[in-house]
Amino acid sequence: MTGPTPATTTTARICPNCDGFPSVAVTLGGRDARGYLRTLTVDCRVCNGTGTLPARLASLAGGRT
């Protein structure tokens, strides 16, 4: 089992909407009474915060023009 590994022909399963960065923290522009920065954590709506797509959807997305 030694030797080079063959190249795979599978398409990347990275979400095209978030490019693999599914969760972000958005600041609300101010601080609360205790001095903490107010933030919201927002997840990608397409991949639901996973950063990847199911294999079936990834193959469909790769073939569309």
DSSP string across 1-65: --SPPPPP-PPP-B-TTTTT--EEEEEEEEE-TTSPEEEEEEE-TTTTTSSB--HHHHHHHHH--
| Residue 41 lies in domain | 23-63
Asked, for residue 8, whether it belongs to a domain, the answer is: no
Could you give the number of structural domains in the chain?
1
The whole-number pLDDT of residue 54 equals: 80
Asked, for residue 17, whether it belongs to a domain, the answer is: no
**Tell me, what amino acid is at 5?**
T
pLDDT of 63 > 60? The answer is no
Residue 26 forms beta bridges with which residues?
A: 40
Q: What is the pLDDT of residues 20-50, one digit of tens each?
A: 999 999 999 899 999 999 999 999 999 999 9
Asked, for residue 15, whether it belongs to a domain, the answer is: no
The whole-number pLDDT of residue 55 equals: 72
Q: How many CB atoms lie within 10 A of CB 43?
A: 14
The whole-number pLDDT of residue 57 equals: 57
